[in-house]
Every structure is written in C-alpha cells, then in structure tokens.
C-alpha cells in the first residue's frame, strides 16, 4: 500500500510513499537490536560528535526541510525555518551536555564502600509522534536518546511521511550507523504489535490523551517503560496589574502559533474583571489583524489546519459551544476559500461543560473567561482535566511566582508564553501525561538507573540486608 501526503493549503498531493511491509518491519527491528549492541558501547564522545554533525546537516538543509513541513502540514514558512533551527539547537545541547547528564553519580554510604548510580541505555525505543511539529517533536526525543546510547524507531503521523523520511536521512547523512534511527511507515493498527515485540525496550508518544491511554495500556501490560506527552488546554491568566500591551501581544502569539495547533498553546484566557473589557477589546482587535493565507508567503501569520477533517472537527466544537450559550466575538465560520483554513476566533460567555470549556480546541480559537479576582482565576485555570502548561501576567513578579506555584501543570510561566527549551524539563500532569523530555530529566527517562556497590574491605563480614 502507498501513503500520500497532501498539501492542506491546496489539496494537491505532495508525494507518495510505500508503506513499510511486515517483512521490512521485521528486518528493521532486527537491525535495531544489532545496532544497539554496537551503539550502546560507542564512546559517548563519539555519539556527541555525531549529534553535532546532525545539527550541521539540519542547518545546511534548513530551507528544504522548512518547505517540506509547510507543504505537508501547513505551517507558516517562517515558523518552519525556526523549527529546523530549534532541532539543531537540541542536537547542539546534547552534544555539549550529554556526558555530564549521564556521568556516574557517587552516593555516600558505608565508609569502606563506593556506591554510585550508573545510567545505562535500555535498547530500541519506539517513538510515536504527531504532525503539528513534525521535526521538533521527533528531535526532542531522538537527540537525548541517541546520546544516551539507545536506538530509535519512529512511527510518525500518516500525513507527514516526507518529514519522517527526511529525519531518517538527517541522521544517516550525519554519520550515525544504519539502524540507529529508523522510520516505520506503518498504520496505527500495527502499533500495539510493535510495542509488544520483545525487541522494543520502551515507548514514548506525543499525541492525544486517548492515544496515550491506549499506548500506556499496551506498554504497561508488557512492563515496558513509557513516556506520555499528551494534550493541553493551557490557561493564560491576566491579573489586574498585567502589563497590558505586552500581555495582549503575547496572548495572540500564544494562541495562534503553528496555526493554533500546539499542545502548549494558550487556549483559555482567564481575565480578572477589572481589566476584562480592556483585554478583550484589544485582544479581538489584534486577533482580527492577523493575516490568514498561503503558508509559503512570508507575510502570512496563519496557514491552514493540517487536514480538512481537523478543521471540521474544530468548527463542530465551536458550533456546539455557541449552541450551549457562548458568544462569538470574532470569526467562528470556516473561510470561503480552497484549503483547510479556519479564521482567528474569539469566544466569550462560555458555559461550563461546553466544548470550549472542557475540551482541547486544537486550532486558532481562543476562549476568554471573566473572573472576579486572583483566587477565582487560579480556580478556573485548574478547572480542567489537562495539566500541561499555564502562564500568569502581572507586574508583581513575587505575586506571579506565587500564582505559578498554584497551577496544576507541568510547566508554569510568569510574563512569558509557555514554550519548550532544551535546557528545561518538559512535560505535564493529569490527563496531559507523565514523564519528562529535554534537559537532564529527558535523557534519563529511557535508561537503567543502576545502583552499584563496591565493597572496599572484601574480607570483612557484612550483615545481609535487603
């Protein structure tokens, strides 16, 4: 069977790829195991050098990779170039810090003993990745895990097969051994079988909470380590002393980045009554000023949704919210043009239990809530089954940090939009998943934290304890 990638801005077929056959899948899994034996014993200094080479390949081919992303899933071309650069950055980060993060950790114990933690790779890791950041989501998994001595197998989203192949080529061109990173162009129906395969040591997924539950159930039944990076409905809390100009400018960016299709995008804007009217007026004006159009055009702020069905699903959530009593202050209707375009949309007066209150809206739709005060803002911010990111806006930094500590989220920002950074752990709580990517925490997720005890006086009897 073949897989087509389709340009969501035009409906034209970008390219066609052959699915990975069952025979080829078996060969790839065998190769991954063989390569792991070699790769895990490769000095970490060489692994770091190869990651640095991967960063060079990314930068040398930035224009090509950016255009591919834009054609396959509609990301504005400038944001696509930024994504390639961020992938190079995460490779640079682990090329510099991997050895430090994986160095033995000596722990004090008995006077005559040396005790330590050793961080050792697990084996082939399956990565199930989404289409919205088709390069970045993969590289934030691949860079730390390849540095740690694991090998990776990628099951990418079906609408970005070209990106999947291109990423595999990056590592091949950088000099990684065959089998260190392999793309499997397989259907979702085959995922459980791969997870259950004895040759797979662990699995990570970035996707919906439904997909995460399914993967966790299968991995758990096999007692395999798993990391879940799932959806979010991030609150953006505006207090009465917020620096309004910066707050509104960032609010628009935080909602519309990547055409609004980001797990850590601000989706619920929780504004205290004292500044609600001012914020709403300025926010609607700025949202309306954004340019929707051809994502290959440098002047475009918002491109299409990644697929027609995703735009339809988003509009259905908007319609149901309005039917429940919500108000539409901007947008709210699919655009009358070819392609999966949806306009910047602002909803207010959204009742509890409406889709815009309870569900993740994965597109350029913002929901603005009015609350009486800070206490109510925190309560509303936490009134969600998700717990990925959150931000608060205030002139008082001590107040901001105090509020940030009360968010039920894995990430909390004061006077900044929620974002990922190779230097900082990334992940959520509640229905947003568990585990962490990036920084030291990320490189230690798929390793064996082995306790080693070296007794100095072998002739002395010791009490046997468990």
Q: What is the pLDDT of residue 210?
A: 96
Note if 229 is an active site residue: yes
Decide if 279 contacts 238 (C-beta within 8 A).
Answer: yes
The residues spanned by each domain of the chain are 2-230+432-452, 234-414
Classify domain 2-230+432-452 at the CATH class level.
Answer: alpha beta
Q: What is the β-pairing status of strands 124-128 and 327-330?
A: unpaired
The whole-angstrom separation of Cα 331 and Cα 328 is 7
Q: What is the β-pairing status of strands 2-6 and 266-272?
A: unpaired
Residue 459 pLDDT exceeds 60: no
Q: What is the pLDDT of residue 311?
A: 97
Nearest to 314 by CA among 268, 363, 281: 363
pLDDT in tens, 114-151: 999 999 999 999 999 999 999 999 999 999 999 999 99
Correct CATH for 234-414 of 1.10.1330.10, 3.40.309.10, 3.40.605.10, 2.30.110.10? 3.40.309.10
Residue 435 pLDDT exceeds 70: yes
Quick one: average pLDDT of 329-355? 97
437: pLDDT confidence band, cut at 50, 70 and 90?
very high
Of the two residues 108 and 326, the one the predictor is more confident about is 326
| Alpha-helical runs (H) found in 300-431 | 308-323, 355-358, 374-381, 397-406
**Size of the chain, expressed as the number of residues it contains:** 466
The whole-angstrom separation of Cα 401 and Cα 259 is 29
465: pLDDT confidence band, cut at 50, 70 and 90?
very low
Nearest to 449 by CA among 38, 59, 62, 117: 117
Quick one: average pLDDT of 378-392? 98
109: pLDDT confidence band, cut at 50, 70 and 90?
confident
Residue 457 pLDDT exceeds 90: no
Burial of residue 172 (number of CB atoms within 10 Å: 0-12, 13-18, 19+): middle
pLDDT in tens, 30-47: 999 999 999 999 999 999
What 3-state DSSP class applies to 77?
Answer: helix
Q: What is the pLDDT of residue 464?
A: 42
* Strand ranges, E, within 185-344: 202-206, 225-229, 234-238, 266-272, 327-330
Structural tokens at position 456: 């100095």
In the block, residue with structure tokens 């195991």: 33
Q: What are phi and psi of 231, to 5 degrees?
A: -75, 175
Catalytic residue among 72, 83, 168, 229, which? Answer: 229
2-230+432-452 and 234-414 in the same fold: no
Residue 7 pLDDT exceeds 80: yes
Decide if 28 contacts 182 (C-beta within 8 A).
Answer: yes
The whole-angstrom separation of Cα 84 and Cα 8 is 20
Averaged confidence pLDDT in the chain? 97
Q: What is the pLDDT of residue 458?
A: 60
Decide if 443 contacts 147 (C-beta within 8 A).
Answer: yes
pLDDT in tens, 9-25: 999 999 999 999 999 99
Residue 462 pLDDT exceeds 50: no
Note if 463 is an active site residue: no
Decide if 58 contacts 219 (C-beta within 8 A).
Answer: no
The whole-angstrom separation of Cα 394 and Cα 396 is 5
Q: What is the pLDDT of residue 460?
A: 52
In the block, residue with structure tokens 């917020």: 242
Structural tokens at position 60: 């040398």
Catalytic residue among 263, 359, 374, 437, which? Answer: 263
Of the two residues 459 and 80, the one the predictor is more confident about is 80
Q: Helices (H), strands (E): how many in the chain?
A: 15, 20
The whole-angstrom separation of Cα 203 and Cα 213 is 13
Structural tokens at position 152: 């990776």
Structural tokens at position 273: 């009554």
CA–CA distance from 2 to each of 42, 134, 186, 372 (Å)?
Answer: 36, 20, 10, 55
Torsion, Cα 284 287 293 295, to 10 degrees, reads: -160
Burial of residue 1 (number of CB atoms within 10 Å: 0-12, 13-18, 19+): exposed
Residue 463 pLDDT exceeds 90: no
pLDDT in tens, 255-264: 999 999 999 9
pLDDT in tens, 391-432: 999 999 999 999 999 999 999 999 999 999 999 999 999 999
pLDDT in tens, 205-237: 999 999 999 999 999 999 999 999 999 999 999
Angle at 443 between CA 439 and CA 445, to 5 degrees: 115
């Amino acid at each position: 069977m073949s897989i087509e990638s389709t340009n969501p801005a035009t409906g034209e077929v970008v390219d066609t790829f052959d699915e990975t056959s069952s025979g080829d899948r078996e060969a790839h899994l065998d190769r991954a195991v063989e390569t792991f034996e070699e790769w895990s014993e490769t000095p970490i200094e060489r692994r770091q050098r190869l990651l640095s080479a991967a960063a060079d390949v990314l930068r040398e081919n930035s224009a090509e990779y950016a255009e591919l992303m834009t054609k396959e899933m509609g990301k504005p071309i400038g944001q696509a170039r930024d994504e390639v650069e961020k992938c190079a950055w995460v490779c640079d980060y682990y090329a510099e810090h991997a050895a430090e993060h994986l160095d033995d950790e000596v722990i004090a114990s008995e006077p005559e003993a040396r005790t330590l933690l050793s961080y050792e790779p697990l084996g082939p890791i399956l990565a199930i990745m989404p289409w919205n950041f088709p390069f970045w989501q993969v590289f934030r998994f691949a860079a730390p895990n390849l540095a740690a001595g694991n090998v990776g197998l990628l099951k990418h989203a079906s609408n970005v097969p070209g990106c999947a192949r291109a990423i595999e080529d990056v590592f091949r061109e950088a000099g990684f051994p065959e089998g260190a990173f392999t793309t499997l162009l397989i259907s979702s129906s085959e995922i459980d079988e791969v997870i259950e395969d004895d040759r797979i040591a662990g699995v990570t997924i970035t996707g919906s909470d439904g997909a995460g539950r399914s993967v966790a159930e299968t991995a758990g039944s096999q007692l395999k380590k798993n990391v879940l990076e799932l959806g979010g409905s991030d609150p953006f809390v505006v207090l009465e002393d917020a620096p309004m100009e910066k707050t509104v400018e960032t609010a628009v960016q935080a909602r519309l980045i990547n055409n609004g299709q980001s797990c850590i995008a601000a989706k619920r804007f929780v504004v205290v009554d004292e500044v609600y009217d001012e914020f709403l007026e300025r926010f609607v004006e700025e949202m309306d000023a954004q340019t929707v159009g051809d994502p290959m055009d440098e002047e475009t702020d918002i491109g299409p949704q990644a697929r027609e069905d995703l735009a339809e699903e988003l509009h259905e959530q908007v319609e149901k919210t309005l039917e429940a009593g919500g108000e539409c202050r901007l947008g709210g209707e699919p655009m009358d043009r070819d392609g999966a375009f949806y306009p910047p949309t602002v909803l207010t007066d959204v009742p509890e239990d409406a889709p815009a209150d309870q569900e993740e809206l994965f597109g350029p739709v913002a929901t603005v809530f009015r609350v009486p005060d800070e206490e109510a803002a925190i309560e509303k911010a936490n009134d969600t089954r998700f717990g990925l990111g959150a931000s608060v806006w205030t002139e008082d930094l001590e107040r901001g940090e105090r509020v940030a500590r009360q968010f039920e989220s894995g990430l909390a920002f004061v006077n900044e939009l929620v974002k990922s950074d190779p230097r900082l752990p990334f992940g959520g709580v509640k229905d947003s998943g568990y585990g962490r990517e990036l920084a030291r925490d990320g490189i230690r997720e798929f390793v064996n934290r082995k306790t080693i005890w070296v007794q100095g006086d072998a002739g002395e009897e010791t009490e046997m304890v468990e």
